[in-house]
Amino acid sequence: MVAQTRTEGWASAHKYIIGTLIGAAVFVAGPELARWAHGGAFAQSQTQPTYPGPAASGNSATSTGQSGGITNSGTIVVNPLPQPARPEVIDQLSLYMDQGATIAQAWVDTNNTDALKSAQPEWAQTVYNYVYTTLGASFAIQFKNTHEISAVGFIGHSIEGMGAWHELNGKISFLNQLINGLRGR
């Protein structure tokens, strides 16, 4: 009786093991099975999400040269190889940093809050568009959401102007860090 119980126990365990292995195989091969079953169109549309680009451009994140995510064949790329930084990208980011610093210094020197408030968003949108099209959505979104948090203020300057000035300086610092990261690739 004991031997019969052990045999039944092993048979039951084998059913669970085989069921688990089949379930894992279907889970892993699922995108390929869906592609095969639907002639490729269904699975391809499911594995290529597009993201909204900058306001001036209709680019998607997949057209920027970024790697990673899921390829057309359903292969998951976990750690893509970093793309080498192009010197012209680093140079352009440096020029944008310099333009931002010029805008910030002009406000410090003149206390013209209206000029700062009109120049800062225009500069930020231009840089965002460039970063989006050359480096991809993730860097552009980081740039857009970067803010400087500081208690630095200038006597005689408006609080409203200081807010825009801090915003600008945060984005300039992000560009500096981005350039350092690109050089390290």
Please state the three-class secondary structure of 90-128 as a single string: HHHHHHHHHHHHHHHHHHHHHCCHHHHHHHHHHHHHHHH
> Cα 150 vs. chain centroid, distance in angstroms?
26
Residue 141 and residue 111 in contact, taking contact as beta carbons nearer than 8 Å: no
Q: Is 65 helix (H, G, I), strand (E, B) or coil?
A: coil
Q: What would the pLDDT profile of 39-84 be if each residue is shown by its tens digit?
A: 544 434 443 334 345 444 443 344 444 445 566 666 665 655 556 5
Quote the pLDDT of residue 12: 60
Q: How confident is the model at residue 4 (pLDDT cuts 50, 70, 90)?
A: low
Choose between 11 and 163: higher pLDDT: 163
22-47 burial, b if ≥16 CB within 10 A, otherwise e? eeeeeeeeebeebbeeeeeeebbeeb
- Measure the CA–CA gap between 67 and 69, rounded to whole angstroms: 7
**Neighbour tally for 80: CB within 10 Å:** 10
Quote the pLDDT of residue 106: 95
Q: Which helix (H) or strand (E) holds 77?
A: strand 76-77
- Measure the CA–CA gap between 95 and 146, rounded to whole angstroms: 19
Residue 32 and residue 38 in contact, taking contact as beta carbons nearer than 8 Å: no
Whole-Å CA distances, 170 to 6, 46, 58, 152 = 68, 37, 27, 13
pLDDT of 124 > 60? The answer is yes
Of 54, 75, 39, 34, nearest to 140 by C-alpha is: 54
pTM above 0.75, yes or no: no
Quote the pLDDT of residue 19: 57
